[in-house]
Amino acid sequence: MKHDGTSHDGRLHETAQRLGQRAADRLDVDGIARQVLQRLREEPARQTTWIHQTWLRIAAAVVILVGGAFALRSVWSNSDAGNHVAHFVADDLNDLSTDELEAVLTSFDDLITVDSVAVPESSDDLRELDAQQLRQVLRSLEG
Amino acid sequence: MAQPQPVPAASDAALISAWQAGDEQAAAELVGRHARALARFLAGAGAPEADLDDVVQETFIRAFRGVERFRGQCQFRTWLMTIGGNVLKDLARRSARRQVMPLDESVRDGAGDPHEHAEAREAEAQLAAGLKRLPRLQREVFLLRAQQGLEYEEIAVALATTPGAARVHYHHAVRRLKEIVE
């Protein structure tokens, strides 16, 4: 190999070539070879362990991903179902007559306490409400 | 009387194939062939002398375990040195608080002129200190070029760069080392 440039580069190369020489001379090469071979003989068992650990980690990751996906899917489908029901209830309310709305409210009276319903302040009795007010009450019940 | 013909040494490639076929002696032969050159490179790159045996050993272990990745893209020795650089990096990460001393100043060589020895040792210590201040790529390119005598093409393959980039890294390293040494 040619030295690059000046004689100073040459000195730098000479110094670099001496670097670590004494440490390398003291190296126990035969001992290192023996230890390397011994560790390599142990490798198959360690590799098997590594493979088992890796597969376990992969399996755990798959379980978490699939479980998470199912959980998200169920949350989204419940949310969609809720919107769907609300939509139909609202549509149905528009089609009901005053008498029919009163009948619905009567059945609700058995299930829900009056305290939880937003009744217009001017009225004490649900039966006195007109169709528009009854729709308002029912919508408040939908939450 | 005919002299016995010397048996030609097996190539690295042949020894690697033999090792892959289960010949442990081939692996031992590769260790014997390259361990000292690897140790010089590692010492220059900052391996503490106390850990040099372990770093060399770990480098060979990793090399033999991953030998299927070596496809003759560069010399086996060069490939070993790139693995050694990674082992050294891992060692430095694990023992960040430990000071890395590439040269053992306590060990003295009694032969020769003591003054010359002292000067040579001082130059080595300065170079070692300068190398520690270089970025890893510059340091390794410099050592592969100046210490191991490799061509830029070989260095480029080993360090996954281009010969032109390796040349630039080398010149940057030399410039900075001259500043430090002077």
Residue appearing with tokens 């489908």: A77
d(CA B98, CA B83): 21
Q: Which amino acid is present at B129?
A: A
Alpha-carbon distance of A70 to B148, in angstroms, equals 59
CB contact under 8 A, A22 and B107: yes
Domain with A50 in it: 1-81
Q: Quick one: A77 and A7 in the same domain?
A: yes
Output the six-digit token pair for B135. 């970025």
Does a structural domain hold residue A89? no
- Contact residues, chain B, for A1 at CB < 8 Å: 145, 149-151
Inter-chain contact B142–A18, Cβ cutoff 8 Å?
no
Does A9 contact B at CB distance below 8 Å? yes
Query: How far apart, in whole angstroms, are the C-alpha atoms of residue B7 and residue B180?
Result: 48
**pLDDT at residue A103 greater than cutoff 70:** yes
Question: Count of CB atoms within 10 A of residue B144's CB?
Answer: 26
Q: Cα(B123)–Cα(B120) distance, rounded to whole angstroms?
A: 5
Domain ranges of chain B: 12-101, 119-182
pLDDT tens, residue order, chain B (182 aa): 456 666 667 899 999 999 999 899 999 999 999 999 999 999 999 898 888 999 999 999 999 999 988 988 899 999 999 999 999 999 888 876 555 444 444 444 445 566 666 777 888 888 999 999 999 999 999 999 999 999 999 999 999 999 999 999 999 999 999 888 77
Residue A28 is predicted with a pLDDT of: 92
* Whether residues A13 and A77 fall in one domain: yes
- CA pair distance B31, B39, nearest whole angstrom: 11
**How many structural domains is chain A composed of?**
2
How far apart are the C-alpha atoms of B40 and B81, rounded to whole Å?
Answer: 10
* Boundary (domain end) residue, out of A51, A81, A111: A81
State the architecture of B119-182 in CATH terms: Orthogonal Bundle (1.10)
Interchain CB distance below 8 Å, A16 and B143: yes
Contacts of A22 in chain B (CB under 8 A): 104, 107, 109
Nearest chain A residue to B65 by CA distance is A40
- Per the CB < 8 Å rule, is A20 touching B142? no
CB-CB under 8 Å, A20 with B43: yes
Whether this model's ipTM surpasses 0.95 comes out as no
CA distance B155 to A106: 89
Alpha carbon distance A110, B18 (integer Å)? 89
Residue A104 token pair: 């619905």
Q: Can you list the alpha helix ranges (DSSP code H) found in chain A?
A: 7-18, 21-25, 29-95, 98-111, 131-142
Within 8 A of A13 by CB-CB distance, chain B residues are 146-147
A51/A82 Cα distance (integer angstroms): 46
Query: pTM above the 0.80 mark?
Result: no
> Rounded to whole angstroms, how far apart are CA atoms B21 and B9?
18
Taking alpha carbons only, the member of B19, B29, B37 closest to residue B81 is B37
Question: Under an 8 A CB cutoff, do B61 and A36 touch?
Answer: yes
Contacts of B151 in chain A (CB under 8 A): 1
Decide if B146 and A37 are in contact by the 8 Å CB cutoff.
no
Mutate to test the interface with B, among A1, A3, A19 (most CBs of B within 10 A): A19
| Distance from the Cα of residue B78 to its chain's centroid | 8
Into which CATH architecture does domain B12-101 fall? Orthogonal Bundle (1.10)
What single letter denotes the amino acid at residue A84?
Answer: H
